[in-house]
Structure 1
Amino acid sequence: CGYHFRTTGEPQGIDIQSIAVPMVTSTSSHLGFEGDFTKLIREEFVTHAKIPLVSRDKASAILIGKVKDIRTEVTSYYLTKTEVEDEEVNYEVTRTRRLRVRLNARLVDGKTGKVIWNDNDMRESATFTVSEDPLATSYNKKKALREIARRFGERVYMKTMERF
């Protein structure tokens, strides 16, 4: 039989005694999300892994993430009519947008710098509601970005610990 039990929360096929997840960097013009991204990726390891999360200089493996691109696109809208200077004008009002994020991620050996795994084009997306209130729209966009970060966290955890 090819099946066997194994301990969860421990890396498979590699020896990792500790891991560091430094701040995710970005080349995107969107600012201020890097802290949330890093926190959610770290939480995935803290919650599920049996290896300690340590500083970069003490880690046997370092997970490096860099957001390459963040884009938004309209996914739904409605038309509305209004009168401007006695002329009826139609214009589009956005209801929902999709946020698309591309991430480079790699795990490197903390001593040698050798790349253990590398994915140059991880992609995730999430949809958010656009409101007449700009603060509500900003909040919804931030929630979508957190959901994307959570999914990236799951994926890099699986690549590191489960070797998928």
Structure 2
Amino acid sequence: MKFLKEKKVVHVKETRRAVVAVFLALSLAGCGYHFKGAGLTAPAGVHTIAITVLENQTSESGIETVFTSDLAYEFTRSKMLRIVGKDMSDAVLSGSIASMAVDTISHTATYGSNERRVTITLDLALRRPSGEVIWSDSALSGRETFQVSSDKIETEQNRRAAIEAISKRLAEKVHNRILQDF
């Protein structure tokens, strides 16, 4: 008798798990939730991409390396397009860091800066070797707030961290926009 009771308990637990799994699957499907990368497809005929070093039109030294590296990382991570040299690619992603502005957004009692916001704008295009533009955005921008400290080195580290955060976010945005438009 005890064996039948244990068997019923196991059966009830399995049934509950199945019901919960079905409920979760249906509710996630119904609310528009999707997994990262779902629905992204490469432009027709594009299987490989070259990413050129972005032109730096700002006074921020080395920023082009940060942004270009993050773009390359994003495409490498997703494995949707293989990164190759420019002469072997189906498309080339190129452009510039068009502007960078740093604005004070909050002041101390003595009119010093307490917080600043850095805003960076990119001008990018994805082109076929023929020159045909597949995708472009000339006003892609991101912003990040950072703390100002009485220690100039700490403030500079905060500013650099803000730039890196913008770079990572914009790289992901570029990747997704290029692949979701098709």
Change in Cα spacing, 1:158 to 1:92, as seen in structure 2 (3 Å) is: same
Task: Compute the displacement of 1:113 (Å).
Answer: 1.5
Change in Cα spacing, 1:16 to 1:10, as seen in structure 2 (3 Å) is: farther
- Identical-pair percentage: 26
- Report SS of the residue matched to 2:75: helix
- Report SS of the residue matched to 1:50: coil
Which amino acid in structure 1 is aligned with residue 87 of structure 2? Answer: D
Distance in structure 2 (CA, Å) of the matches to 1:58 and 1:141: 37
Alignment-derived partner of residue 122 in structure 2 = 103
Task: Compute the displacement of 1:158 (Å).
Answer: 1.2
Distance in structure 2 (CA, Å) of the matches to 1:124 and 1:53: 25
Distance in structure 2 (CA, Å) of the matches to 1:117 and 1:55: 19
Tell me how large the CA RMSD over aligned residues is: 1.8
Q: Which of the residues 24, 27, 31 maps onto 2:54?
A: 24
Bigger relative contact order, structure 1 or 2 (CA pairs below 8 A, ≥6 apart):
1
Which amino acid in structure 2 is aligned with residue 50 of structure 1? Answer: M
Task: Compute the displacement of 1:15 (Å).
Answer: 2.0
**So what's the TM-score if we normalise by structure 1?**
0.82
1:18-56 CA deviation, whole Å, 9 max, x = no partner? 111111112112211111111111111111133211121
- Bigger strand fraction: 1
- Bigger helix fraction: 2
Alignment-derived partner of residue 75 in structure 1 = 105
Gapped regions of structure 1 (runs ≥ 5):
1-6, 80-90
What is the total number of aligned residue pairs between the two structures?
A: 146
Distance in structure 2 (CA, Å) of the matches to 1:115 and 1:140: 37
Task: Compute the displacement of 1:94 (Å).
Answer: 1.1
Distance in structure 1 (CA, Å) of the matches to 2:39 and 2:45: 13
- Structure ID, larger Rg: 2
